[in-house]
Amino acid sequence: MKRYGQLWPLITDFGNLLLAAKKARKGKRYNPNVLKFEHNLEQQLLALQSQLQEKTWQPGDYYTFEIVEPKKRLISAAPYRDRVVHHALCNVIQPLFERGFVNDSYANRVGFGSHRALKRFAHYARRYRYVLQCDIQKYFPNIDHEILKNQLRRKLKCKDTLWLLNLIIDHSNRQPAPPLYFGGDDLISAMRRKGLPVGNLTSQFFANVYLNGFDHFIKEQLKIAGYVRYVDDFALFGNDREQLQSVRFALEEKLADIRLKIHPVKSQLFATQKGARFLGFRIFPTHIRANTDGLRRARHRLRSQQQAYAAGNISLAQLTQSIRSWLAHLAHGNTWYLRKTLLSRYGFVRE
C-alpha cells in the first residue's frame, strides 16, 4: 500500500484554508459565529495558518445537544474555527483514501449520497429474493481511537498531518454508550479510548475509513455482489437464505476485529418481498413507499412550519425551500398521491 507524505504544506496553504472557510460556511452564512469570522476573514485565516504551522493550534470546546428523531443521539458541534481546520484537512487527505473505498459505500462521499444508495438498494431488492439487513450497535460511540489511528498511519506518513489527526481524535468528547466486551478483554481493554462526535466532518470521514476494510472483506472475500452500506446501516442480498445466514457469523467475527458488534435486534434476514426499511423508505421489489416513522415526522414538521410561518418566525422563502427539499426527497419513492394529500391538509397563512 502506498503511503503519502509531504502533505502539510498543502493543508496549511492559504488557498486551501480559504477554500475550507467557503465550504464550512455553506448553509450557515448568517450564523453569528460565521459572520464574526468572515468579518476579518484574511486575518483569521492567517492566524489559523500560523498556529497550524507552529503547531500551537488547539481544538475548542464542543457545543452538544440531543436529538430524538429519527433516533435519540448526542450531537457535538465543533466551533466554526475548528470546522475550517477540519475542511482544510479533508480537502487534502480525503481524496487519497477515496480511491480505496468500494463503490457500495454511499455516505459522506461526493457523487454518492442517500438517494443513490436508495436507488441501488431498490435495484438489489428487485434482483434478489433475500436480504440480510444489519445495523452496527452504537457505531460512532464505539469507534476505537487506537485502531482508527493505525488505519490512518497505514495510508499516511506525513508526521505533521498525523499530529493534527491525532489531536482531533484525542479531543473527541465521550459519547454515551454501554461498554462492549470481546473475547480476551482485560481491565486495560475496557479503558480504551473510543467514540467520535457525530457532527464533525472529520468524524464522517473517519467513519468511512474505519469500515473500509470491512467493506472489502464483504466484496472480495465473501464475494457478495449485492451490497449497500450507508454509515452504519448495511445490507447483503442473495438468493440463498442459508448462505446469507452463515455469512452473518463471518460478519460478526470481522467486526470484532475492530471492536464493533451488530445490533442484535435491528439486524434481520428476510425475503425482499416483505419490504425493507432503508433511509426513510420501505423498499419492495415492485415499488417504494415512505416509511411510517418518516410520515409521522413529516406531519409534525409541516404542523411546526405552519405555526412558525403564521407567527412570522420564518419567511416565505425559507418555508418554500424547506418544503421543496422535503418533496424532492419523497419523490424518490412512489409517493405522488401521498405528497398531494399531505400538502392539501395544511394551509400556510400569516396571522
**206: confidence class by pLDDT, cuts 50, 70, 90:** very high
Question: Which CA distances in Å does 76 have to 61, 117, 133, 177?
Answer: 9, 26, 28, 15
Q: Which three cell numbers stand for residue 340?
A: 398531494
263 φ/ψ angles, rounded to the nearest 5 degrees: -65, 125
The tens digit of pLDDT for each residue in 303-315 reads: 777 777 777 777 8
pLDDT tens column, 171-186? 998 887 788 888 878 7
Name the residue ranges covered by the structural domains of the chain: 7-281, 291-345
Mean pLDDT throughout 225-237? Answer: 97
Q: Give the mean pLDDT of the chain.
A: 89
Average pLDDT of span 90-102: 97
pLDDT of residue 328: 72
User: Is the Cα torsion angle 326, 108, 215, 72 positive or negative in sign?
Assistant: negative
The closest alpha carbon to 87, from 153, 143, 35, 26, belongs to 26
CA distances from 266 to 7, 85, 262, 294, 332 (A): 41, 36, 8, 17, 24
Percent of the chain at pLDDT above 90? 65
Residue 338 has pLDDT above 80, yes or no: no
Cβ neighbors of 345 (< 8 A, separation 6 or more) are 302
As given in the structure block, the three cell numbers for residue 243 are: 448462505
pLDDT classification of 53: cutoffs 50, 70, 90: very high
Ranking 57-66, 168-177, 333-342 by mean pLDDT, the lowest is 333-342
- The whole-angstrom separation of Cα 62 and Cα 77 is 5
Mean pLDDT throughout 14-38?
A: 90
Question: Residue 235, SS3?
Answer: strand
Distance of CA 257 to the CA centre of its chain: 22
